[in-house]
Amino acid sequence: MNKALLIIDIQNDYFEKGKNPLVNSNEASLKAKEVLTYFRKNKLPVFHIQHINTKKDATFFVCDTKGVNIHENVAPLSSQIVIKKNFPNSFLKTKLKEELEKKDIKELVICGMMSHMCIDSTTRAAFDLAYKCTVLSDACATKDLEFLGEKIPAKTVHNSYMAALKTVFSEVISVKEYIK
């Protein structure tokens, strides 16, 4: 079965000093770098997903800013495909599905940012498109959220989304488990 790595939105604005920093973004990006190195070493396809915010009142991922760039920890090689997107779902109005079909990809290994948004929506969309999915939980990051005046810590947000994805949509494991 042909598989590919999707590295979703590991971009500068999600790091310290960025416009929308996440909790543990650097740690997650280093785990993503480990699996990226594994895929490159084994000559397996890698797709980088880059979010470009097109809203006129956008505060992060603004075109032509340093923050929109893919972080140096997982910078794409010139031979690797970068899919630009404008929505949380990496398939929506992009060429991702077309590019995966060109390489006859049937299995996706998914990591990146944010667990509760782009990782979740892309994984569910991939499942709906009949891809076998594996999410690498420690190579993903998110942020604290708030609901009904209550702060929900990033760890709880992340764990809740990983637990939900694991029920039907994806295998959810660590980078270490995946590489071994």
Count CA within 13 A, CB hemisphere, residue 149: 0
Domain spans in the chain, listed from the N-terminal domain onward:
3-179
| Per-residue pLDDT reduced to its tens digit, 55-82 | 999 999 999 999 999 999 999 999 999 9
Give the pLDDT band of residue 137 (cuts 50, 70, 90): very high
Confidence (pLDDT) at 41: 97
60 in Cβ contact with 21 (< 8 Å)? no
What number is the average pLDDT over the span 111-138? 98
Question: From residue 103, how far is each of 21, 64, 75, 170 by CA, in Å?
Answer: 34, 30, 21, 21
Q: What is the pTM of this model?
A: 0.96
Name which of 56, 72, 77, 54 is nearest 14 in CA terms: 72
The answer, yes or no, to whether residue 11 has pLDDT greater than 90, is: yes
CATH 3.30.750.200 fits 3-179, yes or no: no
Given a cut of 80, is residue 18 above it in pLDDT? yes
